[in-house]
Amino acid sequence: MSKTATSPSILTVDLGALANNYRFFRDSTQADVAGVIKADAYGCGALPVFKALRKAGCGTFFVATPDEAIQIRDADPDVQIMVLGGLYEGAEDFYASRGLTPVLNSVEECNRWAKTAGRFSQKLPAVLHYDTGMNRLGMGADELPATQAFDLRLVMSHFACSDEKGHAMNERQASAFERIASAYPKIYKSLSNSSGFFRNKKWHYDLVRPGIALYGGNPTPETKNPMRRVVSLKTRILQVREVKKGESAGYNATHVFHRDTRTATVAMGYADGFLRSGSNKAKLYWGDHACPIVGRVSMDLVIVDIGHLAEHPQPGEWLEVLGPHQSVDELAKDCGTIGYEMLTSLGPRYGRVYEP
């Protein structure tokens, strides 16, 4: 019996579309293009995504933690893996022995990595991360750590507001990074994430780091999405009910029906990463028809109103959650969040299908 036969909902990841999105970046710049595959490749599955990007020609990958890095390293002993979360104290020898490249976020981390290089009697790969305005991770512009012990691969920073066209902070950060970059004339530079890539070609430098755009999210929210859809999700109808005017739906009776109608209860809830904030706001689709969620999203179940449909969906049939009628960004907007959170919240109970 196939996994999809017993799964309450089916998540399909189109690896061909993912590879096409990667090639879109590669073909649109003179810079190298890395793949950001942190958070289980934005919820899409790190190993399948890694293999698809590797086949498409990607040779540099960014993850958030050393644990994320290891599953990739175990799949490929040679690929370059950079750990954005920095150099974990007490794990220095682990990074060095497994060929992981820490993104060094402080002078203290630089000093510890230099000592590690001394113990291993070799120049160890490293990335220097400078903060240019986000005040999250990174060194200050005036900090110039000693790097003689490193094989310094990259100097980078990260945009805070590049998803907002014309935000003044974008230019300020770019100017700050340009000044920092001048101190490292022979070293690769990286500034642009998915949205930064589209704002100004001068910001591409030597390496760009698309993340959400690889997975089909819109990197420029004010325009039509240039990326191909990667993730589709459908959920199984468990029961169809006839409800009367004045009755309610779900926990705490937050929705009261103002007319007789028909509802469908589907096999999905916040345990699957379908956010509770979508209660009484989000919608699913039956063909071209939007079916509003009524009542609160519960742990395993969601109720939708289907009384307006000319056809009558039946138990065992499917409603679209993500697909041609609803993008991850559109669903995220209804849930009061962003596509990043929707994707990285995708739960383990979905039956997963990977299309080549």
Which residues contact residue 223 at a Cβ distance below 8 angstroms, ignoring those fewer than 6 apart? Answer: none
DSSP 40-76: HHHTT-HHHHHHHHHHTT--EEEESSHHHHHHHHHH-
Break the chain down into helix, strand, coil percent, rounded to 5: 30, 25, 45
CA distance 202 to 158: 15
Going by C-alpha positions, the residue among 282, 289, 290 that lies closest to residue 328 is 282
> Catalytic residue numbers?
38, 251
* Neighbour tally for 201: CB within 10 Å: 12
Say whether 354 sits in a helix, a strand or coil.
Answer: strand
DSSP 229-296: P-EEEEEEEEEEEEE-TT-EESGGG-EE-SS-EEEEEES--GGGT--GGGTTT-EEEETTEEEEB-S-
How, if at all, do strands 248-249 and 255-256 pair? antiparallel
Q: Please say whether the beta carbons of 113 and 104 come within 8 A.
A: yes
CA distance 171 to 305: 47
Residue 326's identity, in one-letter code, is Q
Beta bridge partners of 293: 304
Q: Please say whether the beta carbons of 303 and 293 come within 8 A.
A: yes
CA distance 66 to 84: 9
CA distance 81 to 100: 6
How, if at all, do strands 283-286 and 289-292 pair? antiparallel
* Neighbour tally for 161: CB within 10 Å: 17
